[in-house]
Structure 1
């Protein structure tokens, strides 16, 4: 009998273990990008002018910085637009952390992705419930 490892754990346990290393990787990347860009003003008007003054490469880095900031916020419990609020570790966060984590963390990320792929998504579960409910409704109308 083999000893269970973290790679054999439930997806929720894996997600909790990955949260900090993934957040650290994204945060480090965001800090490096922030240092490579001119300071961004806090006001909406100033931010608009800041975006307009960026060249194409700076704008690309600024867009990536916004994405990384949103993902870091999501991982910290502040759901970001475009990401499922019920998902503590969106696939996009893992994608952005690829290549910026240690080998053991990368192995855990791969195992988490594989385990997660076996689970139905929330969207699939909702679709199944909606289909079952609407089919039951149609049957009762037909009677």
Structure 2
């Protein structure tokens, strides 16, 4: 049995529908954990700049990862994030960040999605 482009496209759509919520949940949970480990971040830009300058090296790395995770969560939810293709419902970076934070079933679906899309693992 041969696979047509339409079949792959339909399967990609199915995989996206199955993966969108669990990937976003995994990223959001990671972000929540990181957010709790950092000093409270102020909302306004000037105070946030001062906050960033006050962090030690490890906290800076976690704050950068937190920004990345927040951007990816927003992107998956439909709010395009800078640096990610606007039409990509599940950017490779989101799948990479979800690796190890989803169960075996979803990990297998991620692997299948990557195979369909020609995206290598992290």
Question: TM-score w.r.t. structure 2 length?
Answer: 0.88
In structure 1, the partner of 2:116 is: 115
Greater C-alpha radius of gyration? 1
Q: Which runs of 4+ in 1 moved over 3 A?
A: none
In structure 1, the partner of 2:85 is: 84
In structure 2, the partner of 1:51 is: 52
Deviations 1:74-114 (A, max 9, x none): 00000000000101000000000000000000000000000
Gaps of 5+ in 1: 1-7, 119-143
- Give 1:49 shift: 0.2
Question: TM-score w.r.t. structure 1 length?
Answer: 0.75
- Give 1:16 shift: 1.3
Gaps of 5+ in 2: 1-7
In structure 1, the partner of 2:97 is: 96
